[in-house]
Structures are given as C-alpha cells and as structure tokens.
Amino acid sequence: MVSSGHELVSYGGPSSAGSANLPSETTTQPGSDNITPSGDAMLHPSGDLLIYHNEFTIPLLLCSKAFALLCKPWAKMVEYRMVMGSEESKEDERMKIDLSDDDPIALSILLYISHLRFEMVPSFLSLKQLFALSVLTDKYEATRMVRPWIAHWLSIWNFASMETKVANVWIAWEFGLLGDFERIATALVLDAEIKDDSDSLFYNSKELPGEVPPGLIESALEVRRKVIGQLLDIAYAYLDRCRLPPPPVYTSTFTTAPFRSGFCQTSAGTHACHVSMCGSLLLGLQEIGLYTRRDTAPCNLSINKLATALQGLKIFHFSLASPGVHAGCDPIPELKRKVKEVLANIPSAVTTAHAAHIERQKKLLGGDKTCPPLLVPFQVASRLFSHTR
C-alpha cells in the first residue's frame, strides 16, 4: 500500500505467515519459528519513508532510495509516490507504504538487506521462515539479494524429509534447487493420489499447498495418468485372457470338446489350470478395486501402490498328479516383468520451462559459486546493489 499523508492505498500480496514486532535488532536460534525484532523504529535516522505493517507496533522509518534499490517493484512504489506527491498534501513529506500483506519476518529480512544492516540478518531460518522468504523474493523479484546467505539458510532444507520438501516445493523452485525439484516431482508422480472428481494431488493424504510452481500439478497429473493407464492395460490384458476360449461343449456321454485355456501352456490344456489362474487374478484384482469391466473413472491409487498391488498378486495352485507340468502357466512372473518395465521408463514431470526457470534462479544466486556460509564480507554483499534482479 502506498500513500502520502494519511491516505493508504493497498498492494496485493501473499498472506502473512508468522508475526513480529518492530523490525530492528534481530536474534534467532537454529530452526526457531520466530525472529523477535526489538529496539527503535529506524533503519535510517533521516529517512523519508514509513513502512506500515499490522505486526509492527509503530511504522518503520527508512530511506526510500535504499528501499527502491532492492528490487524493481519497490522502486515502482517509490516512483509512484514521487509522481503523486506534487498533487497531495504537504503536511507530511514522508512517504507511506503499507506492506501488511507480506510475511513480517521475511519482509524484515529484505528491509535489513536493503539498508545494509547485515548484522541484523539472521544466520538461521526455520523452514517456515525460509518458505515465507521464498514467496516474498519471488513476489518482489529480489532473489539475487539473498545470495550471500542462502547457502547457510538452506542447510535446514537439506535435512528435511521428502514429505516436508513436497509441502515446501516453492523453496526449491525459487532458490534454484533443480535436483531437489526433480526428486519432488518424481515423488508426486509415484506416490501422490487423487480423490474422486478432483484435479488436486494428495501426498501422504495431504493436499498440496496453494504455493505450487506453475504447471507442476498439471504435469504430474498427466504423467500419472499415462503410467496408471499402462499399468491397467497390463492388468486387463490378463483379465481378457480369462474370457477365452468359449466354454467347452459337453456331450451326452460327458466328454468334452478340445479346450484351449487362455493360460494353460500344456498341449491339451485343463479346466483346473484355467480356473486356478483366472480365479486367482479376479480375486486379487477385485481387492484393489479392479473388476472384470474396466471402469472409465480414474484410478485413485498412487502409481507405487498400484504397481505394488499388481506385483503382489498370487496364484492359488491346484493339486495335480504332476503339478510341475503347469509351472509355466503362472502369469505372475511375466506380469511382474511388465510392471517393472513400466516403472523403469516413467517420464519426468519436470518440463523444459520448469528446468529453464530453476537454472535461471540458480544463476541469480551465483550458481555453484554461491558465497560460503557465514564468510560473506561486507563488500561482497554491498556490491549486490549495483544491479537489480
């Protein structure tokens, strides 16, 4: 929100996550959920800009020029105020910007950086704080401004579980972590499930959060649909064999016409072999919700759950005088091989556009030359302000 005098005009943005008092002196512990600013209300004693936030006890006084140097959107806010200033009241010459829509901790960090108050920038962030910061640096195109600190902040990310990384995938997207992004996309394809009449993905029974990189859900759903279709094709191909051949014709003397089973590999074929194979398959597939007629509704199971269920099918063998004769009739080894081939050739849900964006983010953060954690000289951080993102 930008204004002159006492009139405030809102700027939209992501909702706040967390709380803070006035952003001044900052202390934090590794993995803490709160950074507690304290002290006076000035980042610049002779500032000409007041930043309002509903989590700040009083407005924060800072320099509009330093504020504008951090990123283009902030520069546009200041430019707007300068243009409108000549038409507004001169009672208060200081600009007023309300950023209450932004996370207070993430906002405080960017304001510290913009005013070269690097001693106030926290050494550690919790995942919640890191996620909030990733949302804000994306919103304001300020990714490169966190380059000196990002390697150390990401240390907590490196120890996070896959479930946690899936829920915070925006961190990988914003901070150029292509390897992690690819692994998250693979986890979504293999382990995510869907609900009836829903285009949402559920990982470990939890719906993905709203902050998901553009196109990721759609891409994962498309890959999932194709692979699930391939697995169902395998299952129903065996069920189709249960329908062949037509039932044998019984004569008045109780002899039968030659019977050719869809499964029995012996020269004559036997009813018992055919019934054993088909009955076992039908029962096993029904247990996972697959019936003799293929349903047009999508399969809600994850790829891994469906593949595991198919590979876990068992044939209940019958008793014969020479059971070894029918050892080659069991379709399960062949089914397992086909399922394994499908799983070995799953396409990636990471599109060319995804990879290009993440590589761009990586370059903004210095690529493989990111400054070592906690060893950033004042001059290195200061030089970042010679350019915007």
Residue 170 and residue 135 in contact, taking contact as beta carbons nearer than 8 Å: yes
Angle between the N-to-C axes of helices 303-311 and 332-344, in degrees from 0 to 180, rounded to the nearest 10: 160
Between 322 and 229, the higher pLDDT residue: 229
Which residue in the block uniquely carries the two structure tokens 């055919």?
A: 274
Between 208 and 4, the higher pLDDT residue: 208
Instruction: Characterize the bridge pairing of strands 2-4 and 95-98.
Output: antiparallel
Region of poorest pLDDT, from 20-34, 78-92, 274-288, 297-311: 20-34
Angle between the N-to-C axes of helices 216-242 and 271-287, in degrees from 0 to 180, rounded to the nearest 10: 160
Half-sphere exposure of 135 (CA within 13 A, CB side): 23
N- to C-terminal Cα distance for the chain? Answer: 22
* H-only helix segments in 169-294: 169-174, 178-191, 216-242, 271-287
Between 82 and 60, the higher pLDDT residue: 60
> Which of 153, 225, 173 lies closest to 194, judged by CA?
225
Residue 111 and residue 66 in contact, taking contact as beta carbons nearer than 8 Å: no
pLDDT at 197: 65
d(CA 382, CA 113): 9
pLDDT digits (tens, 9 = 90+) for 123-177: 999 999 999 999 999 999 999 999 999 999 999 999 999 999 999 999 999 999 9
- According to DSSP, the residues that pair with 95 across neighbouring strands are 4, 49
d(CA 369, CA 377): 15
> Which of 2, 6, 15, 109 lies closest to 51, judged by CA?
2
Domain extent listing, the chain: 2-122, 226-344
Residue 121 and residue 145 in contact, taking contact as beta carbons nearer than 8 Å: no
Residue 28 and residue 35 in contact, taking contact as beta carbons nearer than 8 Å: yes
pLDDT digits (tens, 9 = 90+) for 194-230: 987 677 899 999 998 888 999 999 999 999 999 999 9
Instruction: For residue 176, give the amino acid letter.
Output: G
Instruction: Characterize the bridge pairing of strands 206-207 and 202-203.
Output: antiparallel
pLDDT at 290: 86
d(CA 23, CA 52): 11
Residue 102 and residue 53 in contact, taking contact as beta carbons nearer than 8 Å: yes
Q: Cβ–Cβ contacts within 10 Å for residue 45, how many?
A: 9
Residue 11 and residue 25 in contact, taking contact as beta carbons nearer than 8 Å: no
Q: Is the dihedral of CA 205, 209, 213, 214 positive or negative?
A: positive
Left if phi > 0, otherwise alpha if psi is -120 to 50, otherwise beta: which for 110? alpha
> Which of 10, 27, 174 lies closest to 108, judged by CA?
27
d(CA 174, CA 233): 38
Instruction: Tell me the pTM.
Output: 0.78
